[in-house]
Amino acid sequence: MCGIVGYIGHRDACSIIIKGLKRLEYRGYDSAGIALYDGKGIYVSKIKGKVNDLEEKIASDKNTNGSIGIGHTRWATHGVPNDINSHPHYSNSRNLVIIHNGIIENYAAIKQELINRGYTFHSDTDTEVLVNLIEDVQKSGSYMLGKAVQIALNQVVGAYAIAVLDIKKPNEIVAARLGSPLAVGVGKDEFFIASDASPFIEYTSNAIYLEDEEMAIIRQHKEPRFRKIKTDLLFTPYVQKLKLNIEEIEKRGYEHFMLKEIFEQPQAIKDTYRGRLLVHNGLVKMSGIEDNLEKFLNAQKITIVACGTSWHAGLVAEYIFENLARIPVEVEYASEFRYRNPIVTNKDVVIAISQSGETADTLAAIKLAKENGAFVFGVCNVVGSSISREAHAGAYTHAGPEIGVASTKAFTTQISLLAMMALRLAKAKGTLSTSDFKRSLVALETIPSKIEIALKSDGLVKEIAENYKDATNFLYLGRGFNFPVALEGALKLKEISYIHAEGYPAAEMKHGPIALIDENMPIVVIATKYGHYEKIVSNVQEIKSRKGKIIGIVTEGDTQVKALADHVIEIPETSEFLSPLLTTIPLQLLSYHIAVLLEKNVDQPRNLAKSVTVE
């Protein structure tokens, strides 16, 4: 998604903004631009391409001095990626300059109205319409910029995070948000605006996360003012003291963020457990659950809404919740749930799972659920994110920043947290004996060390990857708790290597996919020693008889699948409901190594964004 960075203070704005935009590159983008007040005018430079290309473009420009400016990385929504459609955008008078992350849904009607009043447009973007609407409002009542922005935003429908400069009052930046994230960094006589904290965390750990329909008027050498967009009322925001440090953001010696995040999973899961998994006390303690226990216990059903990998985590959770707590669970794609007029009542609990906490479809699904009276519980990774604040209650996975577009530690920390929730509910409902409950807590506690063991297969997985990097199709098969892991493994491969892959319940193979199998087809089979082991062994035999190339994910010590498969990757034994936390590790590594061998952009795969904040 788009990235926004703004600076107002006493340092060189250009270098701070360029560096900040680089910290936001993981969000996915196709163009970059900057606007700087150099003491005389507002200088704008923008380009289709990377931030490095922008940096090169402005290197020789003279008017990049000054300590006020805004910068933007664009992920195209309206208008193809090109220089003209890049941000920042001037208003017609060139007095105003804007950058924007989001979608103005009613921009066409506003644009026509402005054309009727004599405005002209150079780009195909909704953003250029917005800056001219603000200008039109300003002119109509000789308003200061802040008031004009507030009035204009009450006329738009859609999502926005914006920053606006006005040459008539150049020592001020007006920022506002609805639906797209925006944080204000509060330094010593300097302020930052950004889509998340990474561009300013090295300068200040004091952050204000604007809520929906809030705006900030940031002025040089003065205290910022915060207003509600609907009512124009002033308010004093909560300043968060962030613990995120820049070192966490760097790759810490790994070639890619994705590999770093795969290897961070043991620590990330420990962080998810912290203060919640109390094995010695025989307890799981999660305030969000404790405070709302009755709602969960009396729920007619639990509906899980999510997208992508988070949806896969939700599918694992369905198996865990129903097995342990015997609560009916349905898992829905948020993008479908929000439009299919679902039956949701005040007897329902909806769990929204989202790493970024900004996924538009998931946010919309939550709003629909709340409108129908459901209790909404958010499982997010980003503190202060929109979904975490829209939900009635929730729990953070505390996985730390996940920069790689392909979600890895978010997936395993989501499952870990959801498993704790299911155990807590099972205990409260008495559907799990005390001894089984305690045994499960111990099994949970051993997961980080077992992932460490699973990660030791990295070298073997890399060798296997070399055999299959040129395949054009993969099939991933799993049963029970590991069926969702087959889906997740296929998604990982698709999104970073661009090889087509499909996940299937293993038993479904004979209902169609088996027709695909020949000697050129690699099939990854999750064949761990649990419930349906014998059945999955016969699936492996069916594949073998059709000359398919079998990569088996097996429980350490397995001999049966080992005798049949072309390759096996062993993982440690654990409780069946926790096995997805281990079986997913070799699949993450397999997709990573194949993508690296194919020289793909592992951390920023084509066409993808880390957080899909628009429909």
Report the interface residues with ligand AGP, using CB under 6 A. Answer: 307-310, 354-356, 359, 362, 405-407, 495, 611-612
Kindly write down the DSSP assignment for every residue of 269-335, as one continuous string: HHHHHTTTEEGGGTEE--HHHHTTHHHHHT-SEEEEEE-HHHHHHHHHHHHHIIIII---EEEEEHH
Min dist. Cβ of residue 406 to ligand AGP (A): 4
CA 493 → CA 307, 315, 505, distances in Å? Answer: 17, 19, 17
**For residues 472 and 607, which CB has a smaller minimum distance to ligand AGP in the complex?**
607
Cα 460 to Cα 477: distance, rounded to the nearest angstrom: 20
In this structure, the chain runs to a length of 615
Min dist. Cβ of residue 411 to ligand AGP (A): 8
**For residues 407 and 440, which CB has a smaller minimum distance to ligand AGP in the complex?**
407
Residue closest to ligand AGP when measured from CB atoms: 308
Beta pairing, strands 240-241 & 206-209:
antiparallel
Among the residues of 430-480, which ranges form H helices? Answer: 434-455, 458-468
- Catalytic residue positions? 2, 610
Going by C-alpha positions, the residue among 249, 197, 217 that lies closest to residue 385 is 197
CB 224 within 8 A of CB 234: no
Cα 80 to Cα 123: distance, rounded to the nearest angstrom: 10
**For residues 450 and 610, which CB has a smaller minimum distance to ligand AGP in the complex?**
610
Min dist. Cβ of residue 385 to ligand AGP (A): 9
**For residues 425 and 614, which CB has a smaller minimum distance to ligand AGP in the complex?**
614
Helix, strand or coil, per DSSP, at residue 354: strand
**For residues 88 and 181, which CB has a smaller minimum distance to ligand AGP in the complex?**
181
The CA-to-CA distance between both ends of the chain, in Å, stands at 11
Prior bond of 88 cis (ω within 30°): yes
Kindly write down the DSSP assignment for every residue of 216-272, as one continuous string: EEEETTS--EEEETTT--B--PPPEE----HHHHS-TT-SSHHHHHHHTHHHHHHHH
Going by C-alpha positions, the residue among 67, 126, 138, 139 that lies closest to residue 99 is 126
Min dist. Cβ of residue 313 to ligand AGP (A): 8
CB 213 within 8 A of CB 175: no
CA 249 → CA 24, 406, 541, distances in Å? Answer: 11, 16, 45
CB 105 within 8 A of CB 157: yes
**For residues 501 and 527, which CB has a smaller minimum distance to ligand AGP in the complex?**
501
**For residues 335 and 440, which CB has a smaller minimum distance to ligand AGP in the complex?**
335
**For residues 73 and 388, which CB has a smaller minimum distance to ligand AGP in the complex?**
388
Cα 566 to Cα 579: distance, rounded to the nearest angstrom: 22
CB 348 within 8 A of CB 374: yes
